[in-house]
Amino acid sequence: MPYVTVKMLEGRTEDQKRALVEKVTDAVSETTGAPKEKIAVFIEEMSKNQYAINGKLLSDEQN
């Protein structure tokens, strides 16, 4: 049973998440041969104050 974890910044819509897990499931099934009903996809959302690039929190960046 494949387990896939997707870590991303929060802010995506439910429709975007649905599309993501569908495509990830399809890709894993196609490449590993695992049946789709055995593939688990976990989404871990992070806020910008929990993620840093180049030594700086994204919450400190001006957008």
Q: Which are the catalytic amino acids?
A: 2
DSSP E strand stretches across 1-63: 3-9, 40-46, 52-53, 56-57
The percent helix, strand, coil of the chain (3-state, each to 5) is 45, 30, 25
